[in-house]
Amino acid sequence: MAKGKIRFFCTHCGQESLKWLGRCPGCGEWNSLVEEQIAKKDSNSTLVSRFGPCDVSKPLHIDEVSGGDETRFSSGIAELDRVLGGGLVSGSLTLLSGDPGIGKSTLLLQSSAQVARQGKVLYISGEESVQQIKMRAERLDVKDVNLYLLAETNIETILEVIKSIAPQWVIIDSIQTLYWSELGSAPGNVAQVRECAGQLLRMAKDLPVAITLVGHVTKEGVIAGPRLLEHMVDTVLYLEGERNYPYRILRSVKNRFGSTNELGVFEMLGQGLIEVANPSAFFLAERSQGAPGSVVVPSMEGTRPVLVEVQALVTPTVFGQARRVTTGLDYQRTVLLAAVLDKKIGLHLGQQDIYVNVAGGLKVLEPAVDLAIVAAIASSSRNQTVDAETVFIGEVGLTGEVRAVGHLEKRIREASKLGFRRCICPSQNRKYLKGVLDIEIIGVERVEEALSVALGG
C-alpha cells in the first residue's frame, strides 16, 4: 500500500482539515478535530462510482429513466414495518441507534428470526461472539430459521461473506466496531466509520440487499461518529425509552422510502420486545380519574394519534423565585402558556411553582397540546377537577386565542374509540369536520371559553 496521508476530521460534522485547529471551521465545535491516516490511491487506478465506471456514465433525460416501485419485504414486526414505511427495502441502508441496553440488538434479532422464516438473513456482530448471540436467541425462542451468525470486524471479510451468502437482509452490530485495514486508525474513528459505511452503501445498492447498521450514541444522545453517517444512509431510526418504564419508542427521523416522525411502541418483557397494538390505552392504563391537574390530549405521532395524560401541579413557592419544571414537554412553551394564564385569565402564578409532566415518560412537543397544558395548570391552580371523559385539542396564542391544528378528525376518532364523550377544540377546526362522530364537539375561540366549559367558569 502506498504511504497514507495525514488529515484531521471533525467528529461532529466530518469537516476535513490539513492541520489541527482548535475550533472546527465547519460546525464551530471546539476540540473536535482528530488525526486520521487516509490511504493514498494509485495514480493509475480507475475511478468507480456506486453504479459503475465513471467513464461510461452519462446523464439521462427524465423520460428515458424507467420507473418502478421499490422492492419491500416485511420485517415480521408490524410496529417496525410502520416506522419503516411499510417494511424493509432491498438495496437500502438503515441506521438504528439508541442508548446502551435499550433493546436494539433484541429488536433486530427478533425481526431477523421472522424474516429468516421466508428468506436468508446474515447477523454480523463486532461486539459479541456467536455463542453470546446464540444465548440471546435461545432466550427469545429463535430456532429452526435460515439465520447465519458471524463475529467479524474486518470490512473486507464482511463484504466477501455477504457476496458468497447473498442474504436478503444483513444486520451489522455495530458500525463503530468495523475497520478497513487500508486505514491506520482505530475502529470507531471518523475515517473508519465513514469508509466502512461507504463500502456497505455501495454493496447494498449493487447486489441489492437490505443492510441495517446499529449505531452507538454519545452522552448528548446523538449518533456517535461523523454527522455524514446520517446523511449517507437511507433511513435513521432511534429507539428510545426510560429505564424506569417498561416501554420503548421507535422513531423515524429520516426515511427516503416513507414518512418521517413515525412512531412504534414496544413493551420490554423477559421474552423480548412485545408490540403495543393500542398505545393510547397503554399510556392511559394507570390514569387516576377525578384528580385536579389531570387532562387528556390526543397527540399525533407521525400518522398515528396517541392519547396521553398531561399532569400539572401548582403550589406556592418556598424559594425566592418561582420554579417552572417540565418533563416530556417543551419548557419554553410551557413558560409561555403560564404567562398567558397569568395575564389573560388572572391566575396570578408569579409566586407559584408549576410542575408539568406527560404521564408515562412520553415526549410530546407539538403545539396541539397547548390547550391541554393550559387546562391542567388552571385545574391544579383552582383545585378543580376536569371531566374524566373530556379531551382537549388546540394551539394557544399569546393573546389567548385557540388556534386550529391538523388531523383533528383522526384525533377525535381515537378519543371516541377509547370511550371519551366530549372534545374541546378550536372553533376554526370545528366547521370543517366531516362524517358522524360519536362524541360531543365543543368549539372554542379563546382560552377563557375553554376553561369556562372545562371548569365551570
**279 labelled as ligand-binding?**
no
| Longest CA span, the chain | 82
What is the Cα–Cα distance from 208 to 71, expressed in whole angstroms?
Answer: 10
What is the Cα–Cα distance from 282 to 360, expressed in whole angstroms?
Answer: 9
What is the Cα–Cα distance from 136 to 327, expressed in whole angstroms?
Answer: 34
- The C-alpha cell at 26 is 465547519
Q: Quote the DSSP letter at residue 333.
A: H
**426 labelled as ligand-binding?**
no
**101 labelled as ligand-binding?**
yes
- Residue 418 CB neighbours (<10 A): 15
**438 labelled as ligand-binding?**
no
Q: For 75-182, where are the alpha helices, taking DSSP H only?
A: 78-84, 104-115, 130-139, 155-165
Residue 284 contacts residue 375 (beta carbons within 8 Å):
no
What is the Cα–Cα distance from 309 to 298, expressed in whole angstroms?
Answer: 9
**105 labelled as ligand-binding?**
yes
- Residue 242 CB neighbours (<10 A): 15
Counting beta carbons within 10 angstroms of the beta carbon of residue 431, is it exposed (0 to 12), middle (13 to 18) or buried (19 or more)?
exposed
**111 labelled as ligand-binding?**
no
Residue 254 contacts residue 113 (beta carbons within 8 Å):
no
**104 labelled as ligand-binding?**
yes
Task: List, in order, residues 6 or more apart from 257 with CB less than 8 Å away.
Answer: 70, 72, 84, 85, 86, 89, 92, 234, 235
Q: How far is CA 370 from CA 272, 366, 395, 446, in A?
A: 36, 8, 5, 12
Upstream peptide bond of 25 is cis (omega within 30 degrees of 0): no
**99 labelled as ligand-binding?**
yes
Binding residues: 98-105
Binding residues for ATP: 98-105
